[in-house]
Structure 1
Amino acid sequence: MSGRLGGIARHDRPRGAVETLDHVSVSRELGVRGDLRGAIRPGKSGRRQVSLIEAESWQAALAALQLSADQWLPWHVRRANLLVEGIRLPREAGKVIAIGSTLRIETTCECDPCSRMDEILPGLKLALMLDWRGGVLGRVLTDGEIAIGDEVRIEE
């Protein structure tokens, strides 16, 4: 079973603007190149190095808010790094997500939505809390160059 990479985003400072990309380098040292949370700081585990969200979960959260089509927001306002489509991300730590030919990310925990989500859209935080809709966090196991459209797989 596989899906595809539907989007790439990064931000270089807290509350900073989100930049969307067509391709990027992801490494054990820096995470998503240019992203605030990618570099593992001394004494830290890097468990929040990369964030991933499912397109289907984002759409379900917005649908739960009963928004009209013109009120729907782009996925990157969630501030996740990677958007995957057509595949369900693991709901447990220790699974490996493979993207493209070499990138491997180990899931570490659920990406709990923060109060910032309600600043963006009232009710969004609660809508993202159900069934890991807010996404997953992970650490980079092997480096890779990725691009929108790359295959996404779950490895055991």
Structure 2
Amino acid sequence: MEELSSVAVTAAAGVQGDFRGAVRQGPDGARKQPRRQVSLIEAESWRAALRDLDIPDDAFLPWHARRANLCVSGLRLPRAAGAVIAIGPTCRIEITMECDPCSRMDEIKPGLMAALTPDWRGGVLGRVLDDGEIAVGDEVRIEQ
């Protein structure tokens, strides 16, 4: 994982540099955009999970240990498929599902998987509707 101050997010490739977001050709030959193209987590949910594990806020366990693409702060992400999040002037992402924490989280810190499970704390997954260059500090809005 690499923390960046800005990155391109596109419908064709997801988050620049993350191969999991790229559109792929299906068995029928059609090109399909993945439902798991971009992952987002709330900074507040990450901190709540760490508090559940008695990890103080000043102990350093960065949000990207969750392996999410993007971290938002000061905004509650929608907990429903179909909602649309706008980031910066042009990027729009449709929420497709909850991002369930995997057992890899317990390799980082025992109990982290369970601490990320309630109330979609593990974040959300989505697909890119509109491309955009996004940067730390950009406005994040819920459109629907």
TM-score range, shorter chain: over 0.9
Superposition pairs of residues 13-92 of structure 1, within 5 angstroms:
18-43=1-26, 44-69=32-57, 71-92=59-80
Structure 1 residue ranges without an equivalent (≥5): 1-17
Cα distance between partner residues in 1 of 2:51 and 2:24: 37
Give the total of aligned pairs: 139
Cα deviation, residue 69, structure 1:
4.5
For residue 144 of structure 1, the aligned residue among 127, 132, 135 is 132
Q: Greater Rg, structure 1 or structure 2?
A: 2
2:106 is equivalent to residue 123 of structure 1: no
Tell me what 1:105 maps to: 93
Which protein is richer in strand relative to its size?
A: 1
Cα deviation, residue 92, structure 1:
0.5
Runs of 4+ in 1 over 6 A off after TM superposition: none
- Residue pair 2:37, 2:126 contacting (<8 A) in 1 also: yes
CA RMSD of aligned residues (A): 1.1
What amino acid sits opposite 1:127 in the alignment?
A
- Residue pair 1:62, 1:72 contacting (<8 A) in 2 also: no
